[in-house]
Structures are given as structure tokens and as C-alpha cells.
Structure 1
Amino acid sequence: MTARVLKFGVMMLLGTMFFISCSDEDGVNLNETNDLNAEEIQDMVVADDITSDIDDILEDDDLDFGLLARGGDESRSSVADCATRSVVVDDVAETLTITLDFGENCVGPRGRELSGKIIIVYQKTDLGYTKEVSFDGFSVDGNTIEGSKSVVKVKENSNGNKEATHTADITITLSTGETIVLEGTRTREKIEGDETRDRGDDVYLISGNWRFVNKLGNEFTGNIVEKLRREYACKYIVSGVTEITKNSNAYTLDFGDGSCDNTATVTNSAGESREITLRRR
């Protein structure tokens, strides 16, 4: 299989989890066999929902990792009060391994029910550090995650901002027993909010591409052609464009002009467009 990568394709494509509803304006039917339909989008939503939660957990632990480097309490976790955090230092390999153990039915600050473990191996580089992420019986709301994820983080990119490149190969077994696969690469550049520990003022620009296989075995690819803007204070992607390909048919998903709203526009190769409504699941 090609380098599989994760939140993080649809994460990129849809950036955040959403449910889709469409009107019949302009006579455009996006629910035909060769077009993207609601159930296919729903599958991508589920994957994006879960991988976005993983990304949030990794970002939260980044804060704790920074405190640890300054002599902070290694058992402290910003992820959830019910999570147990342990740290193992390997001086020979020059790595630091953090295990986040959620036990069973640990409810995080965002209301997700987390179980099992996430293992994060940090290793410093000249420009920042890398993270290798694996899962041990880990699930989100009863959906089990298997596979791996790697992150390369730099303290300062060419724009002077922190940047993280995520690569993932993840299989999600839904609570219904069906499986979906998400693989891809995305880069998150933090353009605002680095001056505070408050996640609420964080703003990211996201680029990348992904491959997604839904529970029926149908395959889709996505490529961000205009960087997606993700504001932590908003539950929707506020701007940017992703190109989605299904059965050699190309579509674009345009998230708008920067307003924090729940709408986006889907356009097919014939130039026919329709507005869709995004609702957080």
C-alpha cells in the first residue's frame, strides 16, 4: 500500500467532522452513482471526527512535553483528568516515551469517551523533534483505532512559524464492526496563538493530500489546493479548497471566505455547484 497517512486526510479534506445535507438548487444532483453521496461523506466524517480527536490529544500533550523539558510534573496531563501519564527516558536512544492510559470510558474535555492507550515516542532533532505514535487497544466512542502516525515538528519554518507534518496509516473499526482506512500526509502551520498556552486562540493553515477507503471498499483521494484555515475557537474549517477524486471524477469542496459558519460549496467537473450544510456530529 502507498504510504498511508492520517487527521490525516479527511482531517485535511474536511478538517473537522461534519454531517452533510444538500438542497436541489440549480438542478444539480450530487447523489447519483458517480457522484459523492451523503453516505460516502458520512464515512469520511466519521474518520475525520476520530483523527481530529487524536490530533487534539497530541497537541495537548505537546504542551505537557514542553513543561516536562522545563522540569514540570511528568504525570500531569492536559488531555483529561482521568488519563494516566507515564514517561520513560532512554538516554542511549535519546528518546522519551510517553504513554497516555485512558483505562476504560475516560471522558475527555471535549466530551469524547476514550479507552486504551496512546504511545508517543519523542526524539529531538536540530530543528525541533519527531513523534512516533502507536495505539494499544485505543478507541474513541467505541470506534477502535489501529495503525501508526508520525509527526515531524519544527520550531520555525521559512515564515518564522511552528510547523508539524503528519503522516498516518490508520484503520478504524467502527462500533458497528465495519472498517474504514485513512492514509495521507498533511502539514499544519501555526500562524496565531503561539504566545499563550490557551488553545482557544490557536490558528493553523493546513496543506496536504490523502487517500480514503470507506466501509464498502470505495476509494477516494483528496488534495488541498488552497490551504485550509483552522481556528481552534471555531468547530468548522473557515476557508480553503480541497479537490476530491472519486472514480476519476474530480470535485472541489470550498469552505468559504473565512467566516465561522457551517456551509461549504461542492462543485463537479462540469462546473455545477451546490451549497452543503455542515453540522458537527
Structure 2
Amino acid sequence: MRKIKFLFPVVSALALTVLSCTKDDITTASDTSPVVASASIDLVNELDIQTGTQISFEKLTAKKTEKSLTASCAVVTMDPQTTTFPKTFYVNFGDGCTVNNIVRKGKLKITFSGLVTETGSTMTIERVNYYVNGNKVEGTIVYKNTTSSPNTPQWTRTITNGKLTDTKGDIFTNSGTHTIKQTAGVSTLSLDDNTYEMTEGTHTVTKENGAKITVTVIESLIKNYSCDYVSKGKLKVESTLLNGVIDYGNGDCDNKATYTQNGIVFPITL
């Protein structure tokens, strides 16, 4: 599931909220830079999961997709070469690989304990001197298949030892766990008709000085693989100042959403 841009517009909404606060409110409010960092971290996590999923289907199965996440400038190699699991792939973005205006450099180390479609299998993603849009990203993603019904594949996505160092040198640690379910496209040999739902989970981001933001799923986020945007679902955004909800609408494939706080609705263009 990809929710790359959803938190960036919240910064604009937050700015409007801050303008309506008193001087004392602004002074006592916690640092809001974790909101921006959370958006960057979320973008990277979803990019890396999609890259791993693409490699899994291209290198380990016969399932194909019209979209290619690594064909343009990244180099994918298996090391060591093996016909048995675990299998480890390196995705090398070199000194700079740009796709859809996102610049990545460095490497991803992706290890599969088995096929991502098999219950109990894990896909582990590690960052090796890895940068996205100038931000250095560290930490590990474990994407584990927890399927109990073959008709509804399910995974948990856990981030540990997450660390983002932005272009200004500010450092943000992060962690979180989410549940992902596939609700369409299970029986076909294409990724393009897949639909994923993020049904629950929480992500926290903490700056070195202790400023913190928490984003929690309160209504399943729905993401069609064929659409670039989350089309439905709600997120609760909380910090010292923020206390609102992002709403992605009723299922249309568009770049529109809203952010509501204290009864005030802010339109969002993703």
C-alpha cells in the first residue's frame, strides 16, 4: 500500500491552525517538524515495500505488472546466488536514481525467507548508506505474511530502529506496526488489479529534543495498485497541537482529501 503524500498537506492545514492560536498557544505548542519528518518517513517506507514486492514477483514468481519500480535506473542483483531460501537481493540506486521526481541513492538489502505470498514468510528490508530526496534513511522493515484465510492475504509491517536525518541535519527516530490486507486480485497473475487495505496500526516519530507526532488508522485506508492515491479511509493525527482527522473520501481514484480539526474542514490536494 502506498500513501506517499498524505501528510504533506497537513503541514499547510497546521499552519492555518497555528495562525488562529494565541501567542501563548504557539509558544507552548510542541515542535511540529515531526509532521514533516513523518511524511518523509512514510514516503520512504512505502517506496521500499513496493520495491521489495516488485522484486518478489519479478524474481521469485510469474506474477507481472505493467509498472516497474526498478527497471529505469536501479540495478538488482542476488547475493549470494542461490536456488533456495533465504534469498537476498540488493537494489543499487548508485549515486542517484530518479523515478517520478523521487531521487534515491545507496542500496536496499532485501531478504526473503520464502515467497511473500506464503503464511509465515518474511521480507526484511535494510538500508545501506541510503538516501531519499537528500534525507538519509536508516532502520529495518519486516513485512511478515500472517494470512489465516487464503482468500484474504494479510501482512504485518513493522519498522524498527528507524532513523531519518534530514538535509538540515535534524534527526528523527521512528517506529510502528500496521496490518495490511489484500482484498482484490488474489486469484490473478497481475499486480495491477490488486487492492490493499491498511486496517490498523500506529506510527510515531520523535525528534531528538522529544517533540513527537502519532498517526493512527481509525478507518481502513484503501489503496488500489492501479491508482496512485489512497481512495478511502481515515487517519487520526495527534501531537501537542494537532488533534484532527484526515479523510480520503468515498472510494474515488482522485487526489482529493480533507483534514478536519475543531469542526473546521480544510480541503487537501495530494
Do these two structures clear the TM 0.5 threshold for a shared fold by scoring above it?
A: yes
1:264 corresponding residue in structure 2: 258
What letter matches 1:82 in structure 2? C
Offset at residue 235 of structure 1 (A): 3.6
1:4 corresponding residue in structure 2: none
Whole-angstrom distance in 2 between the partners of 1:112 and 1:48 = 13
CA contact 1:188–1:205 (8 Å) conserved in 2: yes
Matched, 1:274 2:268: no
CA contact 2:221–2:233 (8 Å) conserved in 1: yes
2:88 corresponding residue in structure 1: 97
Judging changes above 3 Å, is the alpha-carbon distance between structure 1 residues 277 and 250 closer, same or farther for their aligned structure 2 residues? closer
Query: How does 1:17-56 map onto structure 2 within 5 Å?
Result: 18-20=8-10, 21-22=12-13, 29=20, 32-33=25-26, 41-56=35-50
Offset at residue 250 of structure 1 (A): 4.7
Counterpart of 2:44 in 1: which secondary structure? helix
What letter matches 2:50 in structure 1? D
Offset at residue 173 of structure 1 (A): 1.1
Which structure carries more relative contact order (alpha carbon 8 Å, separation 6+)?
1
After superposition, the CA RMSD in angstroms is 3.6
Offset at residue 183 of structure 1 (A): 0.8
1:220 corresponding residue in structure 2: 213
CA contact 1:18–1:278 (8 Å) conserved in 2: no
Offset at residue 134 of structure 1 (A): 0.9
Counterpart of 2:266 in 1: which secondary structure? strand
What letter matches 1:167 in structure 2? T
Q: 2:76 aligns with which of 79, 82, 85?
A: 85
Matched, 1:142 2:134: yes
Judging changes above 3 Å, is the alpha-carbon distance between structure 1 residues 49 and 276 closer, same or farther for their aligned structure 2 residues? farther
Matched, 1:231 2:221: no
CA contact 1:43–1:215 (8 Å) conserved in 2: no
CA contact 1:16–1:48 (8 Å) conserved in 2: no
CA contact 2:144–2:157 (8 Å) conserved in 1: yes
| Deviation by residue 1:115-151 (Cα, 9 ceiling, x = unmatched) | 1110011112862521121111111121111111111
Judging changes above 3 Å, is the alpha-carbon distance between structure 1 residues 46 and 276 closer, same or farther for their aligned structure 2 residues? farther
| Deviation by residue 1:81-131 (Cα, 9 ceiling, x = unmatched) | 3222111358799411111111111223x3322211100111128625211
- Structure 1 runs not aligned, ≥5 long: 1-6
Query: How does 1:86-165 map onto structure 2 within 5 Å?
Result: 86-88=77-79, 94-108=85-99, 110-124=100-114, 127=119, 129-154=121-146, 156-158=147-149, 160-165=151-156
- Structure 2 runs not aligned, ≥5 long: none
Judging changes above 3 Å, is the alpha-carbon distance between structure 1 residues 112 and 159 closer, same or farther for their aligned structure 2 residues? same
Whole-angstrom distance in 2 between the partners of 1:24 and 1:111 = 25
| Deviation by residue 1:163-205 (Cα, 9 ceiling, x = unmatched) | 2211012111112222222210112212123424353x33211
Offset at residue 30 of structure 1 (A): 7.3
Judging changes above 3 Å, is the alpha-carbon distance between structure 1 residues 210 and 40 closer, same or farther for their aligned structure 2 residues? closer
Matched, 1:183 2:175: yes
CA contact 1:132–1:149 (8 Å) conserved in 2: yes
Aligned length: 255
Judging changes above 3 Å, is the alpha-carbon distance between structure 1 residues 145 and 186 closer, same or farther for their aligned structure 2 residues? same
